[in-house]
């Protein structure tokens, strides 16, 4: 199949591009800057340069493709672009282009328990509005709902490296973050399965971990004694509400942390071969190599 990948330069998108190429699919990558494709440039047959938040720049982006896979999302704490501009509007632009081109499938990566948490988290609300548009529209769709990504867990490693990790509440809530490569495999499996049309797939990695266990893994990777502190249950949600009117991206991140602290994902499909402890060690090794190269 000829597949357009949006968000192809991000953490998940690069793995999706690589997995598609490995299975013999033709990849068209939507990018702002082709140089950001980095190591997966050789996996891309067609590069479409455009800005998804600017609909006029997307003329022809979906022409001739069979499917769109969107991993597009905002990962900045800066005030702009906002989660509304990226997570909602940019993806809705792609949905409209998919409809006009009459493509055979749109695969959208949203969030586990998105319907339950959307009213509390602007970024999740933004993504769920895209889900609404797909479910109510004419383009065949598949929704992937991951429990969280390994690269999001780097926040715990960064805290541990600074000497202390702070949990949202008591840190006992459990979820199953997944490595980008494992999730990419799962996504492309759904692409190749006609029975996945008009279905949603909650998915997580092989381990069900609490925030406290994740923090302990981070300290262990650093060979440091654990210094882990709990915050009051009300603190992070309150901070999120105060910050959202001034910086929706940062406030939404805090609100998402609070939402995750209260959600369970035991019902999600558990898949993958990669474990968080190994990912942490790889991150530290990569950082060490980078620092040595700069000396």
Is 56 buried (19+), middle (13-18) or exposed (0-12) by CB count in 10 A?
A: exposed
Give the CATH number of domain 2-149+177-205+266-273; options: 3.10.129.10, 3.40.50.720, 3.40.50.970, 3.90.220.20.
3.40.50.720
**Domain residues of the chain, as ranges?**
2-149+177-205+266-273
- The pLDDT of residue 262 is 59
Strands 165-167, 228-230: pairing kind = parallel
CB 201 within 8 A of CB 143: yes
The residues that bridge with 228 in the sheet, in sequence order, are: 165
Query: Could you give the dihedral angle defined by the CA atoms of residues 185, 37, 254 and 83, in that order, rounded to the nearest 10 degrees?
Result: -100
How far apart, in whole angstroms, are the C-alpha atoms of residue 135 and residue 24? 29
How far apart, in whole angstroms, are the C-alpha atoms of residue 119 and residue 97? 27
- 282-292 tens-digit pLDDT: 999 886 544 34
| pTM, to two decimals | 0.92
pLDDT, average across residues 65-75: 94
The larger pLDDT score, comparing residue 39 to residue 259, is at: 39
Which tokens belong to 72?
Answer: 């597009």
- The pLDDT of residue 170 is 82
The larger pLDDT score, comparing residue 236 to residue 199, is at: 199
Q: Is a pLDDT exceeding 90 seen at residue 233? A: no
The closest alpha carbon to 214, from 271, 160, 260, belongs to 160
Helix (H) or strand (E) holding 288: helix 276-294
Contacts of residue 145, Cβ cutoff 8 Å, sequence gap at least 6? 110, 111, 112, 113, 114, 200, 201, 202, 203, 268
Q: What is the DSSP annotation of 186-234?
A: HHHHHHT-GGGTTEEEEEE-S--EEHHHHHHHHHHHTT----EEE--TT
- 183-231 tens-digit pLDDT: 999 999 999 999 999 999 999 999 999 999 999 999 999 999 999 999 8
- The pLDDT of residue 148 is 87
The closest alpha carbon to 211, from 273, 159, 147, 166, belongs to 166
Q: Is a pLDDT exceeding 60 seen at residue 89? A: yes
- The pLDDT of residue 117 is 87
Helix (H, G, I), strand (E, B) or coil at 112: coil
How far apart, in whole angstroms, are the C-alpha atoms of residue 122 and residue 228? 28
């Amino acid at each position: 199949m000829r597949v357009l990948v949006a968000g192809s330069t991000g953490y998940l998108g690069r793995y999706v591009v690589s997995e598609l190429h490995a299975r013999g699919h033709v990849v068209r990558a939507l990018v702002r800057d082709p140089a950001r494709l980095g190591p997966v440039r050789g996996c891309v047959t067609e590069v479409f340069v455009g800005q998804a938040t600017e609909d006029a720049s997307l003329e022809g982006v979906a022409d001739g493709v069979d499917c769109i896979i969107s991993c597009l999302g905002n990962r900045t704490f800066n005030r702009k672009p906002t989660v509304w501009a990226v997570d909602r509007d940019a993806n809705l632009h792609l949905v409209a282009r998919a409809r006009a081109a009459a493509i055979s499938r749109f695969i959208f990566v949203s969030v586990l328990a998105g319907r339950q948490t959307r009213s509390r988290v602007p970024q999740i609300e933004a993504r769920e509005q895209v889900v609404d548009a797909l479910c109510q529209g004419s383009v065949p769709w598949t929704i992937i709902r991951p429990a969280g990504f390994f690269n999001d867990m780097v926040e715990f490693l960064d805290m541990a490296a600074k000497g202390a990790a702070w949990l949202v509440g008591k840190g006992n809530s459990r979820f199953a973050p997944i490595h980008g490569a494992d999730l990419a495999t799962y996504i492309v499996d759904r692409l190749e399965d006609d029975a996945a049309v008009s279905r949603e797939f909650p998915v997580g990695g092989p381990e069900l971990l609490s925030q406290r266990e994740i923090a302990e893994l981070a300290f262990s990777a650093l060979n440091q004694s654990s210094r882990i502190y709990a915050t009051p249950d009300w603190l992070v949600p309150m901070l999120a509400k105060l910050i959202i009117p001034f910086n929706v991206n940062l406030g939404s991140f805090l609100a998402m942390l609070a939402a995750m602290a209260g959600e369970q994902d035991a019902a999600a499909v558990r898949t993958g071969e990669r474990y968080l402890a190994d990912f942490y060690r790889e991150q530290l090794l990569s950082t060490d190599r980078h620092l040595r190269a700069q000396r």
